[in-house]
Amino acid sequence: MSTPSLDFMQRALVLAEKGRGSTSPNPMVGAVVVRNGRVIGEGFHLAPGADHAEIAALRKAGKAASGATLYVTLEPCCHTGRTGPCTDAVIAYGIKTVFAAVKDPNPAVNGRGIRILRKAGITVSTGLMREQATLLNDKYFGYHRHRRPFVILKTAQTLDGRIATASGDSRWITSAASRRFAHRLRAEVDAVAVGMGTVRSDNPALTVRHVKGRNPYRIVLSRSLKFPPACRLLTDNKDYRTIIAGGEDAIERFSRTKKGRNLILWGVRLNRQGMPQIRDFLDKAADFGLQSILLEGGGTLATAFLKAGLVDKYVLITAPILCGQGVAAVGDLNIKKLGDAIRFEHGSFETCGIDNIFIGYPQRS
Amino acid sequence: MSTPSLDFMQRALVLAEKGRGSTSPNPMVGAVVVRNGRVIGEGFHLAPGADHAEIAALRKAGKAASGATLYVTLEPCCHTGRTGPCTDAVIAYGIKTVFAAVKDPNPAVNGRGIRILRKAGITVSTGLMREQATLLNDKYFGYHRHRRPFVILKTAQTLDGRIATASGDSRWITSAASRRFAHRLRAEVDAVAVGMGTVRSDNPALTVRHVKGRNPYRIVLSRSLKFPPACRLLTDNKDYRTIIAGGEDAIERFSRTKKGRNLILWGVRLNRQGMPQIRDFLDKAADFGLQSILLEGGGTLATAFLKAGLVDKYVLITAPILCGQGVAAVGDLNIKKLGDAIRFEHGSFETCGIDNIFIGYPQRS
């Protein structure tokens, strides 16, 4: 077996990134065909229906792929979706060695691609830059591992952890650079969700405006469904992408009102406190086919998801301002000791304009 | 006049840094003597009584200093303290051109040094890297400009702006790397101050332990002076550096108790709410000769200083953990609109271990 090269896998990861925001429900994938230490073909997956990364790279390499090595950021697929199985192509082109960063968690693949290649006499090795390859497709991995949408909580706060002043002023806490960053996040998820407090105070459109990208589904998760008079999420719905999730009875009543027209309605079970059950909500979202949901506010929604242990990724944008008493970013989590505080894996702080962005994955306790 | 070189001033700033933590009440200063584009002498100020930077650099340069250029991070002094005036030496060595980054704000100098050099026929230019040179000695500049101690507020908090859980657990929020950083801060100030809440919950020693450095004065600022039974700040006072500041009547009574022995006691005027007046406290501290005070907690003290507009520098250490409801880092600042939030000059976020540190200078409104 040839010695694996981090450089080629790194290149494949860079290629994979080119699909960011357009591949869902497929993962981002990059592939590099190498012969005698030289790249002879490269490819990445751009969108559902387009070539898979391996196919694109093999096609570029052509006949020279025979006997060559393939670096790919994800196990090659072995099922026929809109395109044929990649394993067939890898075998047909005569690839001798495959370095796949990580096994595909999709139950339709999940190691079968590797077995098929090995059966055909190809040397297959996994694990090279597995961590980076997994983080690259965190939403895809989360979705297939937990069989529910990957939940990203995004909060924009002051240095002292406030999302609004005591009187409710929240526009704008963060800088224009951070708002662009937030819109890129929107463009990469299947849906954006807010609670009724945010609907009332911000009347958000939840569309992608500051960057290029597709609009996600827009979800309001609320017990009461008491919408304010003029509400963009109800009126600006030409694409029929607004989803209203609430208590089953409330949804039933809402469906019979004028406001409820042309909306996607989900009845969600309530918990003992009379609030929508987060897990039931996510089950509904999974049934609908959502692979990822971005929670954009406010504190009540954030707290409910955190308390339920159902936040998979936390994105916290902090602006360099202090406002003192105000609306807290996170409410009561029933944590008494610092030892029980929520900690993060792969946590990192990055600068964004004058703001700071923390990204981390809450540890499962 | 020769063309100024950023490189030489940058070198002088690096040299000045070598005095960090040991020069107070003097500023850190670095100096470089340059002839024909080559450094022929370097120096910095280490501690009160030791050579000033210019003297050290000139001595190294020797006779070659005649006709040379001097880069110095601060206007040369013109008064005799423990050492002779630097202006005399600069003239005697025959320096032809002086680049001083910034004017010395000390009323005993304040431009007089420059005038003396010019009178002697030396070309003097100021302003080269003024900003860096001013930030280098922020405490010294603050003290002389405002005629009161430079106040640094340091807070260690969770991502959601909490300095302790609801039940008061605060040890430890931040990592070992951040605690070393915090001890370096202590070693660089004349005094550290806490409120009684912190005395009660943490029983702190307020000494420099995790790094090398001298211990600052330790101040408790409290209205009530109700100390808990075993209190390190009262018992561990072999160096007689504990200062208790409280209401005038309370201090008067406290001075007659056994606990009040061997302590430095400051009676401070109370405001209408019955709390110590921050400005009067700082006047007392200035009279005592303190050039800088580090506020180390808790939320009440921080809020009082912020509300009074008497925080000169804010150092915020954020640990990547979430604790939900708990003790807020900052209390009510009476800010209703985000437009009135406290903003910062020279604000920057830096990584420290797994934590993040924000440093900024609150803007004067």
pLDDT in tens, chain B (365 residues): 568 999 999 999 999 999 998 998 999 999 999 999 999 999 999 999 999 999 999 999 999 999 999 999 999 999 877 777 999 999 999 999 999 999 999 999 999 999 999 999 999 999 999 999 999 999 999 999 999 999 999 999 999 999 999 888 888 899 999 999 999 999 999 999 999 999 998 999 999 999 998 899 999 999 889 999 889 999 999 999 999 999 999 999 999 998 888 999 999 999 998 899 999 999 999 999 999 999 998 899 999 999 999 999 999 999 999 999 999 999 999 999 999 999 999 999 999 999 999 999 999 86
Taking CB atoms and an 8 Å cutoff, what residues of chain A touch B331? 324-325
Inform me whether the pLDDT recorded for A181 exceeds 90: yes
Q: Does A346 touch chain B (CB under 8 A)?
A: no
Name the E strands within B159-306: 162-165, 191-195, 217-221, 242-247, 264-268, 292-295
Quick one: how far is CA A277 from the chain centroid?
21
Instruction: Nearest chain B residue to A322 by CA: give it.
Output: B342
Residue among A201, A175, A326, A351 nearest B343 (CA)? A175
Give the pLDDT confidence score for residue B364 in this predicted structure.
80
Comparing alpha-carbon positions, the chain A residue that sits nearest to B319 is A343
Q: Which residue has the tokens 């200078």?
A: B361
CA angle, residues A267, A272, A273, in degrees to nearest 5: 90
- Residue B22 is encoded by which pair of tokens? 């040991």
Residues 6+ apart with CB under 8 A from A284: A245, A266, A268
pLDDT tens, position by position, A228-265: 988 999 999 999 999 999 999 999 999 999 888 899 99
What residues does A258 pair with on adjacent strands?
none
Contacting residues of B for A171, CB less than 8 Å apart: 338
Q: Active site residue: B42, B54, B75, B188, which one?
A: B54
Instruction: Give the separation between CA B290 and CA B24, rounded to whole angstroms.
Output: 10
A300 interface with B at CB cutoff 8 Å: no
Residues in chain A closer than 8 A to B301 (CB atoms): none
Rg (CA), chain A: 23
Question: Cα–Cα distance between B150 and B130 in angstroms, integer?
Answer: 19
What pLDDT shows up at residue B20?
94
Q: Which of B322, B346, B354, B361 to mutate to test the interface with A (most CBs of A within 10 A)?
A: B322
DSSP B65: G
Catalytic residue from among A54, A75, A188, A296:
A54
Instruction: Please state the rounded mean pLDDT for residues A167-181.
Output: 90
**A323, A335, A337 member nearest B335 (Cβ):** A323
Matching residue, tokens 């609009």: A215
pLDDT at A365 over 70: no
Give yes or no for a contact between B111 and B87, defined as CB atoms under 8 angstroms apart. Answer: no
The residue of chain B nearest to residue A167, with distances taken between CA atoms, is: B336
Among the partner-chain residues A159, A328, A337, the one whose CB lies closest to the CB of B316 is A159
For the beta carbon of residue A353, count every other beta carbon within 10 angstroms.
17
Please check whether residue A292 is in contact with residue A24, taking contact to mean a CB–CB distance below 8 angstroms: yes
pLDDT at B247: 94
Chain pair A-B, CB pairs under 8 angstroms = 157
Q: Is A333 on the interface with B (CB under 8 A)?
A: yes
Cα-based distances in Å from A151 to A208, A310, B39, B356 = 18, 7, 59, 24
Residues paired with B348 in a beta bridge: B359
Q: Answer positive or negative: Cα dihedral of A105, A110, A113, A114.
A: positive
Residue B343 touches partner A, C-beta closer than 8 Å: yes
Interface check for A365 against chain B (CB to CB < 8 A): the answer is no
Q: In terms of DSSP bridges, do strands B97-100 and B123-126 run parallel, antiparallel, or are they unpaired?
A: parallel
Residue among A317, A335, A342 with most chain B CBs within 10 A, to mutate: A335
Mean pLDDT over residues A318-333, rounded? Answer: 94
Q: Which amino acid is at B232?
A: R
For the residues A51-80, what does the mean pLDDT come to?
95
- Would you say B325 and A340 are in contact if contact means Cβ atoms under 8 Å apart? no
Q: What is the pLDDT of residue A298?
A: 86
> Residue B215: what residue type?
N
Please give the mean pLDDT across all residues of chain A. Answer: 94
pLDDT in tens, A17-46: 999 989 989 999 999 999 999 999 999 999
CB B170 within 8 A of CB B299: no
Say what the pLDDT of residue A1 is: 53
Nearest-Cα distance to chain B for A75, in Å, is 33
A25 exposure class (CB count in 10 Å sphere: 0-12, 13-18, 19+): middle
| CB of B34 closer than 8 Å to CB of B69 | yes
Q: What tokens does A108 get?
A: 């339709």
Handedness of CA B111, B112, B115, B116 (dihedral sign): negative
How far apart CA A219 and CA A243 sit, in angstroms, is: 5
For chain A, what is the largest distance between any 2 Cα atoms, rounded to a whole number of angstroms? 68
* B356: closest chain A residue by CA: A349
Residue of A202, A198, A203 lying closest to A221 (CA atoms)? A198
Q: Which residues contact A217 (CB under 8 A, 6 or more apart)?
A: A190, A191, A192, A241, A242, A243, A264, A290
The answer to whether B172 contacts chain A (CB < 8 Å) is yes
CB-based contact B71:B57 (threshold 8 Å)? no
Contact B32, B42 (CB under 8 A): yes
- A161, A187 in Cβ contact below 8 A? no
| Active site annotation includes A54 | yes
Long-range CB pairs of B241-245 (<8 Å, 24+ gap) are B241/B215, B241/B216, B241/B217, B242/B217, B242/B218, B243/B191, B243/B217, B243/B218, B243/B219, B243/B288, B244/B219, B244/B220, B245/B219, B245/B220, B245/B221, B245/B276, B245/B281, B245/B284
| pLDDT for position A256 | 93
Distance CA B239, CA A5 (A): 61
- Token readout for B13 is 């700033």
Between A61 and B82, the higher pLDDT residue = A61
Chain B residues in contact with A349 (beta carbon < 8 A): 318, 320, 349, 351, 356
> Hey, what are A291's tokens?
């692979």
Amino acid B294: pLDDT: 98
